Amino acid sequence: MQNQNLPAEQVKTPSLWVAVVLDILGMVTFTIPGVGEFGDVVWAPLSAYLFSRLYGTDKLAKWGAIFNFAEEILPFTDFCPTFTIAWFMRKFSK
């Protein structure tokens, strides 16, 4: 588990490629006809869990996992690259 008092460089950050692939997986459900919303019902909790495991236990990870779940479960919001945005926020914030 991550300590919330760690310096920024010691907080978890997955690779950019992992973030991009997970965002693409979230968007893929709409490329298969008839799978879209059902796929999101399965993917949303899994995606939120992966988000929290990849980004640790700090405030960004907790709120990001909640936002990620909402973004995946709500219709027509799959275009938002949550994992990639969080990667940039983690990488370039101090």
- Residue 49 pLDDT: 95
Is the residue at 38 inside a domain?
A: yes
Does this model's pTM top 0.85? My answer is no
User: Sign of dihedral through CA atoms 3, 62, 80, 19?
Assistant: positive
- Residue 35 pLDDT: 73
Contacts of 15 (CB under 8 A, 6+ apart): none
Render each residue's pLDDT in the chain as its tens digit; 94 residues.
Answer: 444 555 544 567 889 999 999 999 888 877 777 777 788 888 999 999 999 999 988 888 899 999 999 998 887 787 889 999 999 998 888 6
Is the residue at 1 inside a domain?
A: no
Q: Give how many domains the chain has, as a whole number.
A: 1
Is the residue at 27 inside a domain?
A: yes
Is the residue at 86 inside a domain?
A: yes
- Residue 1 pLDDT: 42
Which token pair is 92?
A: 């370039």
| Residue 60 structural domain | 13-92
